[in-house]
Amino acid sequence: MIFLLSFYFGLGTFFSFIVAPELFRTLERSAAGDIVEKVFPLYFGVGLGAVGISLLIGITSRMSRFLLTLLATNLIVLLALEFYVLPQAHSMKVAGSPEFVKMHLISVIMSTVSLFLTFGAVVYLIVRTKDVGS
**Rounded (10°) CA dihedral 20, 6, 62, 110:** -20
Find the domain containing 96 and state its range: 2-133
pLDDT at 109: 95
DSSP 54: H
* Number of C-beta neighbours around residue 134 at 10 A: 5
Distance, in Å, from the CA atom of 18 to the CA atom of 92, rounded to the nearest integer, reads: 26
How far is Cα 82 from Cα 21, in angstroms, rounded to an integer?
21
Query: How many Cα atoms sit within 13 Å of 38 on the Cβ side?
Result: 7
pLDDT for 130? 75
Predicted local distance difference test score (pLDDT) of residue 133: 56
Q: With 0.75 as the threshold, say if the pTM is over it.
A: yes
Specify the pLDDT at position 90: 87
Domain count, the chain: 1
> Per residue of the chain (134 residues), what is the pLDDT tens digit?
999 999 999 999 999 999 999 999 999 988 998 899 889 888 999 999 999 999 999 999 988 999 999 999 999 999 999 999 999 998 998 898 889 999 999 999 999 999 999 999 999 999 988 766 55
